[in-house]
Chain A
Amino acid sequence: MPVDGRGSELRSADLSEDVTSQVLAECLASFPHVRLTVTGACMEPALPSGRIVRVRAAERRPPRWGDVVLVRQADGLRLHRLVWGPPVASAVGWWRTKADRGPALDARVRREDVLGTVVAVEGGRLARLGPTVTSLAGAIFARIRQFLRPR
């Protein structure tokens, strides 16, 4: 039976957020790691825009507090830091992520929303403890300021 489908057979992927998420999950499950290019400045200076990172599936490399993780948020996939997660938080409870340069924590996520963990930065190295403490402290102070603000 003739079927439609001719035309431009090959093009750089322009996938929906949902399909991108599925492609990433499939690639993470099938390969030792996936390479991703960082976009945006929210993780600078740890991860400048344009830097290539290697992400390993969360099943292969369980995320830990301080890791930069590939996380599924309501507004899309993000490479953000896990500022509340194992071992300081329960593996089955709520976890929190945050952009190093962001003023506030991201929405709460479950373990299954964290697709992978950044295990290497091509041409650089990834600081873990310092940025995590700074990032978390910044979010806490921002929250305290919010509470202390005259109403």
Chain B
Amino acid sequence: MSRPGPSLDQVYLRSERMVGRRIADEFVLVPIVGRGADVDGIYNLNRLGAFIWERLDGRDGSAIVAEIVDQFDVDSQGAARDYRGFITKLQSINAVTLA
């Protein structure tokens, strides 16, 4: 049975096992293993990814989608699809937890 996709009503939080850093012109996610940074497992985020990541602080999906529509050239349907897709990817690397 496939897992249902992320709902806009739910609140996703950044995992403590993943740290976001803006370095030079890049936004990267660095996995934490033990007390150290696993630099082999670093991910890049694009502007939208970084935008969403920085808002995973207790806001629900609807609020974040509304902000995406406000800031990016996209309608609410497209923004919701992008948000869900991104959260699914973050879940696949254990970068977010459900509040």
Contacts and interface: CB of A to CB of B under 8 A. Distances in A.
Interface stretch (A2-10, A101-109, A140-148): A2-10
A13 interface: yes
Interface on chain B toward A: helix, strand, loop, or mixed SS? mixed
Contacts of A2: 71-74
Contacts of B21: 23, 26-27, 30
B9 to A, nearest CB: 21
Interface residues of A, number: 32
A53 to B, nearest CB: 11
Contacts of B19: 30
Contacts of A22: 23-24
23 contacts: A1-B71, A2-B74, A3-B71, A3-B72, A4-B47, A5-B48, A7-B46, A7-B48, A10-B49, A11-B43, A11-B44, A12-B44, A15-B26, A15-B28, A19-B23, A23-B23, A23-B26, A26-B23, A27-B39, A33-B37, A35-B33, A36-B39, A54-B36
Interface of B: 19, 21, 23-26, 28-30, 32-33, 35-40, 42-49, 51-52, 71-74, 82, 85-86, 89-90, 93
